[in-house]
Amino acid sequence: MNNMNQLQQQFSGKVINLTTSQAKSSKPSIPQYCFNGSVWNGSWDLNEKLEMPVKKFPAEVDISQRYHSHFESLCNMTDILRLASSEVVSGHMNDAMEIEVLKRMKGLRGEALLQIGTSVDHRLLRIGCPLFGVNRNSHQEGDLVILECQIPLINFTMIYVFNDALTKANMPIEKQVRHLEEINSAVAKLGIKAPRYILLAGIEWDLKWYKDNEKPIDWSEIHLITMEKVSLFQKQFPMAKALFVRTQPFTMPWKGTALASKESYQTYNNLFHEVARKFNPDQNICGGVHVADLAQLMLFNGTETSGWSDGLHPSGWVSMQFMNILFNVMSLIGEECGHSKINSTQINSNQLNKLGLN
């Protein structure tokens, strides 16, 4: 029996009830496989022998590696790294090539991505901002620290706020609401347009919590709280064009012991796909919940000795190719949705009461 079937059996009779209020929308002009989980399937075009374990290269050579979605041509995807300030990363460029990339990123112009995640997500700024020739900026509002940078060529802002777990943050629902309001207020004070793209993550911290507390993983609780949290974020960011939940590749941490089994990582990732389907039963593109499938890009199980991970974080080339696909998907959604509001999907309050979350 595969993990998805086991997961579905575990959730049998326990899946949260949804009441959905959606405005009828016309059929999207782009195929579903360009914005659902399928677009993350692909293969690496390794211009160095990166399949060799422990192979190390200078950082820029690392980042020059490319991952190609199987739907790259069908979805008219471009290569955002062509805009990198280093020619080692961008490759040979001419005006026509640059204009093609800039046109394709039309859906991101003037917009912002808010990542509420972990150090894995921070790498999009830590590596990506200098790659595009800009510095990260930090801002503090009380105890809240926000990092951000703007990519001038496409007028797009990346924002990062640390999240110490997705479901095991031990934060009451009222405090979660206040926390999101604080983030919204702090971003507004920076003069940054309200984020139209939201990314949530924290699988690795959830698994760490179960390991540190020597408790078996409660998949039913994780499923219910994830559903509740996604609904909460939709309410707090009603103008968002898309909300992403990021999968986590299996990695072998520096202490030599994994946070959980490979099967547990896969089950959690499968759960995210299930959550996206439940919030998006009609595969509506505008305001939908989508999977940002980082796990699809990782080879060699992310072990430190493979060179594909430092033991927890994906290598630079994995992070940047993840960013490339994410930017392409967001731009497609941006062009398709214009000023559409997010779908209003509510969680049944009785379910929240059972969890003590209401």
Q: Does 241 fall in a domain?
A: yes
Query: Which one has a higher pLDDT value, 183 or 157?
Result: 157
- Across 8-30, average pLDDT: 43
Say if residue 42's pLDDT is above 50: yes
Residue span of the structural domain in which 56 resides: 39-355
State whether residue 112 is helix, strand or coil.
strand
Say if residue 255's pLDDT is above 70: no
Q: Does 46 fall in a domain?
A: yes
pLDDT interval class at 158 (50, 70, 90): very high
pTM equals 0.85
Per-residue pLDDT of 256-281, as tens digits, reads: 678 888 899 999 999 999 999 998 87
Out of 114-118, 218-222, 344-348, which region has the weakest mean confidence (pLDDT)? 344-348
Say if residue 353's pLDDT is above 50: no
Question: What mean pLDDT, rounded, does the chain reach?
Answer: 80
Q: Does 222 fall in a domain?
A: yes
Q: Does 15 fall in a domain?
A: no
DSSP letter assigned to residue 16? P
Structural domain tally of the chain?
Answer: 1
Residue the block writes with tokens 């709280």: 225
Please work out, in degrees rounded to the nearest 5, the angle formed at the alpha carbon of residue 210 by the alpha carbons of 183 and 308: 75
Q: Does 297 fall in a domain?
A: yes
Q: 159 φ, ψ to 5°?
A: -125, 140
Q: Does 13 fall in a domain?
A: no
- Across 136-155, average pLDDT: 93
Q: Does 2 fall in a domain?
A: no
203-212 and 262-279 helices, crossing angle to 10°: 130
What pLDDT score was predicted for residue 90? 84
What pLDDT score was predicted for residue 74? 92
Q: 139 φ, ψ to 5°?
A: -140, 150
Q: Does 10 fall in a domain?
A: no
Residue the block writes with tokens 């990092």: 147
Q: 290 φ, ψ to 5°?
A: -130, 155
Say if residue 328's pLDDT is above 80: yes
Query: Which one has a higher pLDDT value, 340 or 292?
Result: 292
Q: Find the Cα–Cα–Cα–Cα dihedral 214, 203, 194, 104, rounded to 10°.
A: 170
Per-residue pLDDT of 164-204, as tens digits, reads: 778 876 667 778 788 888 888 888 888 888 899 999 999 98
Q: What's the CATH code of the domain at 210? A: 3.40.50.1110
Token pair of 136 as six digits: 């990260």
DSSP 152-213: GGGTEEEEEEE-S-SS-S---HHHHHHHHHHHHHHHHHTTPPPPSEEEE--HHHHHHHHHHT
